[in-house]
Amino acid sequence: MNKKNAHISEIHIIRAIACLLVLLVHVSATFYYQQGKEFNDITYFINQISRFGTPMFALISGFLLFYQVRYKGFKLDWFVSSRFTKIGLPFLFWSIVYLLFMYFELEANPFESGFKLFFIDFIFGNAFYHLYFMSIVFQFYLLFPILQLFRSKLIWPALLGISVFINLYFLKVYNPGQFNGLLGEMLSQRAFLPNWIFFFIFGGFLAYYYEPLSAFAKKYKILLSIAVLFVTAAAVWEYKHTGAIASNRATNMINIPIITLFIIGIGEQISKVKWLNFFFVKIGTLSMAIYLVHPLVIYFFQETAPVFIWKTELFPIVFGLILILTISLVKLIQLLPKNQYILTIPKRISSQESSKGMKPASLRYSSTQR
């Protein structure tokens, strides 16, 4: 099959794993609250080791956009219209939903700090704890029309190096406290793009070097599997010695490329296992929708579930139930008219279409998976 028209099945897998990791972070945090605001070794491990999920979503967001530009070019009007319809409207809708939820259910007044701070919180995705990533993606969209001009493979290693420098500077050196007022508030946000820029740029690097990197990953998948074990062990050492770690920590600039290449390397083997491939395709396809609605499911599950279910040994059952309930809620929302403006759920590409050399699967998917 023509490489240009190849079906990139690994995208489903990366996106699904990222989605499941994010869900694991939030479910393990629920166990923390239900177990007297304490982690044990197991729930703490799950919570911390799952923080690879958010940067993986950022990587996929960058990859899909740059991969599309690589083969189809760039049209600004289409880009603006597509992003507003597929991402902007769901972000606005769910921000309002969660603000109403906070006000009526949790009795929290979003205007308590004033309208200006409310506006900053809103645009930086602070309507609820998970929406900050949407704001990061929007900031990346503002930068993307410039970045897409760099279409030579030769320049992307330099861009990747620059992104490492920028990301490290804003993580380790930059002090937002030097600015006062609203500007200081904006620059200190968790959703400030320079704190995440490496992962988007690595997505672009991967898009332009996908073929050689994919070949490398498949050839050295055993070596990469050992590297992933090392990454896991190093992450455990990191959080045990430094305390809770953030998803965009500096070490993830090494961890995420290794994990991503490993997933690409074993992608063919996973695809051959029908039930496993079906699971990853389903989760990957619904990942954006799962991301948007899962906090509501977790909250109401937490409020209604019996006390005994919060035993650590029952974690897999609780996680499975929350995943199933979240998917069920997504399916219910899909029954609503105009649901495409509420949840972004991409169209599936069939194996028949793929065998006929249709456009890459990545080009048929929303580019903002978290």
Instruction: Note whether residue 294 is domain-resident.
Output: yes
Tens digit of pLDDT for each residue in 12-59?
899 999 999 999 999 999 999 999 999 999 999 999 999 999 999 999
Instruction: Note whether residue 78 is domain-resident.
Output: yes
SS3 263: helix
Instruction: Note whether residue 28 is domain-resident.
Output: yes
* Phi, psi dihedral angles at 251 (to 5 degrees): -65, -20
The CA distance from 265 to 38, in Å, is 37
Mean pLDDT, to the nearest integer, of 164-193? 86
Q: Which segment of 170-179, 302-311, 315-324 scores lowest on mean pLDDT?
A: 170-179
Q: Are 124 and 185 in contact, with CB atoms under 8 Å apart?
A: no
Instruction: Note whether residue 321 is domain-resident.
Output: yes
Instruction: Note whether residue 140 is domain-resident.
Output: yes
Domain containing 108 equals 3-364
Question: Closest by alpha carbon to 251, among 301, 318, 199?
Answer: 199
Mean pLDDT, to the nearest integer, of 341-346? 83
Residue 363 has pLDDT above 60, yes or no: no
Tens digit of pLDDT for each residue in 46-91?
999 999 999 999 999 999 999 999 989 999 999 999 888 888 899 9
What HEC string does 104-167 produce? HCCCCCCCCCCHHHHHHHHHCCCCCCCCHHHHHHHHHHHHHHHHCCCCCHHHHHHHHHHHHHHH
The CA distance from 79 to 366, in Å, is 11
Res 350: pLDDT: 42
Res 357: pLDDT: 38
Res 117: pLDDT: 87
Instruction: Note whether residue 370 is domain-resident.
Output: no
Instruction: Note whether residue 100 is domain-resident.
Output: yes
Residue 8 has pLDDT above 80, yes or no: no
- The number of distinct structural domains making up the chain is 1
The CA distance from 79 to 65, in Å, is 10
Angle ∠(117,122,123) on CA atoms, nearest 5: 105
| pTM of the predicted model as reported, rounded to 2 decimal places | 0.90
Buried b (16+ CB within 10 A) or exposed e, 237-265: eebeeeeebebbbeebbebbbebbbbbbb
Mean pLDDT, to the nearest integer, of 315-339? 96
Instruction: Note whether residue 369 is domain-resident.
Output: no
Q: Are 294 and 26 in contact, with CB atoms under 8 Å apart?
A: yes
